[in-house]
Every structure is written in structure tokens, then in C-alpha cells.
Amino acid sequence: MSGTAMTLTAWGALFGRDLRAFLRSRSQLSSSLLFPLMLLAILGIGVSDGLDPSRLEDGDYTTFLVPGIMAMAALFSSTFSSASFYQDRDSGMLKVFLVSPHSPAVILLGKSMGGIAIGSAQALAVLAIASAFPAIDLEYQYGVLPSLLLALLTIAGLNVLLSGTAQLLASRIRTMQGFHLVMNLVFFPLLFFSGAFFPLGDLPAWLRGIALANPLSYAVDLLQLALYADGGDGYIGLGPDLAVLGGLAVALFALGARRNPMME
């Protein structure tokens, strides 16, 4: 077997293992999907009916929330998947992987693939379920198929970025509890200042400045442009979004894959 074929086989094996573990863990499967959907229903309907957000298109906050909730689902999933690194290190499986004929980078990339695929699938599941409700009226301004492809690309890029960030954090934090704490401290503020829950266009300048320094804002903006927006006014724009998300995803993933997996 050639070197490339061996690497691909190893990636397939590691990816398949994490996917199987995820599908067998019903609590992880249901909680990571149910929470975003509950938030979409309760927060969306509550704000739409109770607060009358007239500045939004058609005053429909539930539809506005869909792209942000997709980003949140990807973020949750990425956190869960990154925790599997700690499980593998504590169970000794990581050492077993590292004595196989592959470099540490190949092993880390293989492990990340499961997280990226699961995160993307969950975000798209949120979109599929939300689209089934008549009250949710997505625009797909570039046409349904191109918009869906753009959303898919964005979600995949976002998961690559999150996976790289999680791997970098995991190289500094020794315990799973510490990792979850830091992930919550880093990722939740990023989510709140990303435009996932309120439009960035009408924010005060200082708050908009913070949002523009937040990598997650560009993913949420892309998803809103692909699925929700009817035009580009008030949004960051396709070009900057793709450049920032793509550049950061590649850079952070490359940095994350270069770390020492045994933390020594």
C-alpha cells in the first residue's frame, strides 16, 4: 500500500471510529441537537411575538435565528468532539495511534475529521428541521442550490476553524474539565458577539468593532447572506467573510495539527 493510500485508510479508520462512538452516544446525539432547536423555538417565537422586532425583515426573529443557531450547533458539536481527544489520551488509545506508522499530524488530522463531519451534519440537521416549519421563511437569495452549497461550505470552514482552535487549546490544558471551562469562556462570548442573536448592522460602533474582531461573526454573516438575507445591506459581505473564515480556518487548523499530542 502506498504512503498516500495508507494515510487515507488511517483517516478513514479514525473518522469511522469517532462517528460510530458519536452515533452510539444517544445522550450526546440528542442533547447537541435538541438544545439548539429548543433555543430556536423558544427564543425565536418569544422575541418575534413578545418584543416585535420591527427592524428585522418581516419582523420574523425565528427565521433570523436559523443561521446563528446553525453556528451554535457547530460550536457545541466541536466542543464535544474535541473532548474525545482527552478521552483517547486518558484511555491510552492516543499512544496506540501514535505507535502506528503515521506522523502525529496525520493522527490529529484523522481525529479532527470526525468532529468536522459531525459538526457539519448537526448544523445542517438544524437547517433541515427548521426548514420544515411553515413559519420559517428562508430567502436563499442566491438560489436554493447555490445558497445551500455556500451554507455547507461555511459550516465546513467553521468546523475546521473550531477544530483547530480546540486542538490548540487542548495542547495547553491538561484536564478535560479545564478544557470545557475554557471552551465555554472563549466560545460563548464569541457566539454572543457574532451576530447570531441580533443583527450587527444597527449596533453601536464599539460593539460592532468587537463583532468585527470576532472570527465567528464572519461565519454567521455568510450563513445569513446564504439563507436569510434579501440583499447585502447591513452585512459584512461575501468577500471579507470568505477571506477571513477561509484564512483563519487553514491557519488555526495547521497550527493545531502541529502540536505535540502527548503534551510533553
Q: Which residues contact 108 (CB under 8 A, 6 or more apart)?
A: 167, 256, 257, 259, 261
Length of the chain: 264
9 in contact with other proteins (CB under 8 A): yes
Residue 25 CB, shortest distance to other proteins, in Å, is: 8
149 in contact with other proteins (CB under 8 A): no
Instruction: For cell 453556528, name the residue.
Output: 71
Closer residue to other proteins in complex, CB, 17/208: 17
Stretch that binds other proteins, among 85-93, 149-157, 204-212, 218-226 (CB under 8 A): 85-93
50 in contact with other proteins (CB under 8 A): no
Scanning residues 219 to 258, which ones bind other proteins (CB under 8 A)? none
DSSP H helical ranges for 132-259: 144-170, 176-192, 205-212, 215-223, 238-257
Give yes or no for a contact between 230 and 58, defined as CB atoms under 8 angstroms apart: no
Report the SS3 class of residue 66: helix
Stretch that binds other proteins, among 11-19, 33-41, 192-200, 208-216 (CB under 8 A): 11-19
Spatial separation of the C-alpha atoms in residues 210 and 134, rounded to whole Å: 35
Residue 254 CB, shortest distance to other proteins, in Å, is: 19
Total site size for other proteins, rule CB under 8 A: 27
Stretch that binds other proteins, among 95-103, 120-128, 151-159, 249-257 (CB under 8 A): 95-103
Closer residue to other proteins in complex, CB, 21/43: 21
**Burial state string for 94-106 with b = 16 or more CB within 10 A and e = fewer than 16:** beebeeeebebeb
10 in contact with other proteins (CB under 8 A): yes
24 in contact with other proteins (CB under 8 A): yes
Spatial separation of the C-alpha atoms in residues 88 and 198, rounded to whole Å: 38
Question: Which amino acid type is present at position 223?
Answer: L
Which residues of this chain interact with other proteins, rule CB under 8 A? Answer: 1, 5-6, 9-10, 12-14, 17, 20-21, 24, 88, 91-93, 95-103, 262, 264
